[in-house]
Structure 1
């Protein structure tokens, strides 16, 4: 149990580093590591408070950089609806299926990043797709703790400036987390023990954020992305292997 807690804390710290460097993506590292050590429901539950608190902080800090508040509100509202449905899936799907799903979602995210590095989504098209993308992203976040294959890819495809990207995605994750916490509590997934662990997990995540910010200033974004994608691929394959054996 002690080693599990240590690795879990390192996962949250690594997630904080990623969040500090690019403004999002902490669950991409934290959730698969916790799911590998324990299970997906625990990983999703323990990540709720760090996700909520860090994104409330970011949403407030970067609020003046939101280029389209109505777009952000629509994306966030749709994500909240999806998160409700995803939380219900979390308690009904088998653990092995959830582990494989989380691993597969991470691989999808990596595939999209590698296959279409220069593709850009027109703003008019993005505004038409914002509600369905928000719902699907929230659904994935609720069911597996990872919406990045939809939410981050969707916003990245719009080629938003970095601060605008952070402002928009932070509002989305704030709304999703605000729905997840009471829903998972009502469903018995977020127990008092897991809530306490979630509160403690805020510390290593926030400790990692300034490290990520410093790294972002010292190394190229392309190099950092390649390192993160390699780590994610290893974690995703390990999750799928664990689910299959």
Structure 2
């Protein structure tokens, strides 16, 4: 694939990821990391998305700073995710790229199945508080290793029925905590080079351009529409990644 075409696709993907994140609080890594991985491999994709993830979630935390987080849930969820991301980033540095790409493809398919199979699943908050630390750790490991924690974090928080604003502040704090561990470890592991760090910083632009568009669209377009579009795109991307990894 010509480099210019790959860059254009990456720009479009990050913009659409920003639209989805602005509308739902999630969407950017779910869409951007698999597509970038299919273009450049998992380690490069994770590095490219690391600064957009850190800055976009920091921005959303500031925007929703007056929204109260669920007591007894956010702290163990984010703290366990922080340490899980450390273990996952070590796996990213040491495992072969083809293995990581196959794991990422399977994780995307798992996310799609969970969203389609149990969309109305409800989890009581008292159970959610007990599961916050172990699921946060598992999500952190996945995020560090393949750049995607959504198969764990998103169904878990959706099942708690937090409400949009509380969901956004909780997931943003979680992703922000993961990035605080991930970025220094990527640099120390030699994966985040100077040119890739610059490319990651540039990747912030299309993501941030998309976020206000998504926030505005959320007032007029059903969230189910965003969900269905995201799942359809993810299915195609995951299939492509799995073929590449097996090939």
The TM-score, its normalising length taken from structure 1, stands at 0.97
Asked if structure 2 preserves the Cα contact closer than 8 Å seen for 1:76 and 1:175, the reply is yes
Partner of residue 212, structure 1: 214
Partner of residue 194, structure 1: 196
Q: 1:42 offset after TM fit, Å?
A: 0.3
Matched, 1:117 2:101: no
Partner of residue 48, structure 2: 46
Matches within 5 A, 1:27-42: 27-42=29-44
Q: Quick one: distance in 2 between partners of 1:7 and 1:22? A: 22
* CA offset digits 1:97-149 (Å, max 9, x no partner): 11111111111111011100111011111000100011000000000000000
Residue segments in structure 1 that go unaligned for 5+ positions in a row: none
Q: 1:14 offset after TM fit, Å?
A: 1.3
Asked if structure 2 preserves the Cα contact closer than 8 Å seen for 1:73 and 1:171, the reply is no
Q: Quick one: distance in 2 between partners of 1:78 and 1:63? A: 22
Q: Quick one: distance in 1 between partners of 2:66 and 2:76? A: 18
Q: 1:69 offset after TM fit, Å?
A: 4.9
1:126 aligns to what SS in structure 2?
helix
Partner of residue 234, structure 2: 232
The TM-score, its normalising length taken from structure 2, stands at 0.96
Q: Quick one: distance in 2 between partners of 1:6 and 1:165? A: 31
Q: Quick one: distance in 1 between partners of 2:226 and 2:205? A: 23
Asked if structure 1 preserves the Cα contact closer than 8 Å seen for 2:73 and 2:128, the reply is no
Q: Quick one: distance in 2 between partners of 1:208 and 1:132? A: 33
* CA offset digits 1:24-50 (Å, max 9, x no partner): 121111111111111100000111110
Q: 1:70 offset after TM fit, Å?
A: 4.2
Partner of residue 171, structure 1: 173
Q: Quick one: distance in 1 between partners of 2:69 and 2:92? A: 34
Asked if structure 2 preserves the Cα contact closer than 8 Å seen for 1:28 and 1:148, the reply is yes
2:205 aligns to what SS in structure 1?
helix
Q: Quick one: distance in 2 between partners of 1:154 and 1:100? A: 23
Kindly report the root-mean-square deviation, in angstroms, between the aligned alpha carbons of the 2 structures.
Answer: 1.1
Q: Quick one: distance in 1 between partners of 2:81 and 2:14? A: 23
Q: 1:224 offset after TM fit, Å?
A: 2.1
2:187 aligns to what SS in structure 1?
helix
Partner of residue 64, structure 2: 62
Q: 1:211 offset after TM fit, Å?
A: 1.7
Residue segments in structure 2 that go unaligned for 5+ positions in a row: none
